[in-house]
Structure 1
Amino acid sequence: MPHSNIAPQTRTRAKTLRRELTKAESAMWDMLRDFRPYGARFRRETPIGPYIADFAWLAARIVVEVDGDSHETDHGRRHDLRRDAFLRGQGFTVMRFDNDQVLDGPDYVFTTIEKHVTPFLKKEFV
């Protein structure tokens, strides 16, 4: 009997995605690791139900997504709406940023994430 509700194919796909971060995802990972000394434990490419979150802090129920061009299509938008509805139904807060925001406006992205994670941090974030 499996130990969770995550399909083996989803786990395999998540492992592959962890090895193949985009430039924007790599920049986001660097940002999120700045919160680690304060108790934030984000994971990369984390399966949640049938979906894989780019970054998730499971204990705080926070998901951070970095979206490329595929999210700008009609199909991509519909998929994101279904996925976000599922994640919110599981109690997650979902934050989405496109690649350009992460690469060209990291200060905005960082402060936006900071607002959402600060209530969950163990020490005061300075």
Structure 2
Amino acid sequence: MKETTVVKNYKMLPTARRLRREMTPQEKTLWYQFLRTYPIKIYKQRIIESFVVDFYCAQARLVIELDGAQHYTEQGKAYDQERSQILREYGLYVLRFSNREIETQFPEVCQKIRQTIEARR
């Protein structure tokens, strides 16, 4: 188990800033319609180690990832598994949703995030 303090690779800052400016439609939906005004602080495009996670709630030690088509290739699945394992070693919990879930089951996605944050506080 790595130390519980989340490490930040500042070399990733330009990438994180670009990703914040160029959020996917699904990321924008989740951010502007739910996470941005959530009563507990949630960050978008946060650097953890050498990764930029879609959303991060430090208080709940929760990472929220939205997965597009590239995540369902063999290479994408392998990368996500490795990345999730590294994040778990920091004591973080990773919630993953497909872009399709954001588009078709938005209230359920929000409820799952809410429940997970409350359970982990």
Partner of 2:46: 46
Q: How many residues align?
A: 114
**2:86 alignment partner, SS class:** helix
- Cα shift readout 1:36-71 (whole Å, capped 9, x = no counterpart): 3xxx11111000001111000123211100110010
TM-score (norm 1): 0.84
The amino acid of 2:98's aligned partner reads D
Partner of 1:124: none
Say which one has the larger Rg: 1
Partner of 1:24: 26
The unaligned stretches of length 5 or more in structure 1 are 122-126
Give identity over the alignment, percent: 29
The alpha carbon displacement at 1:120 in A equals: 5.9
Q: CA RMSD of the aligned region, Å?
A: 1.5
- List aligned pairs for 1:1-126, cutoff 5 A: 5-8=8-11, 10-29=12-31, 30-36=33-39, 40-119=40-119
TM-score (norm 2): 0.87
The amino acid of 1:46's aligned partner reads R
Q: Residue 47 and residue 5 in structure 1: after superposition, are their counterparts in 2 closer, same or farther (change >3 A)?
A: closer
The unaligned stretches of length 5 or more in structure 2 are 1-6
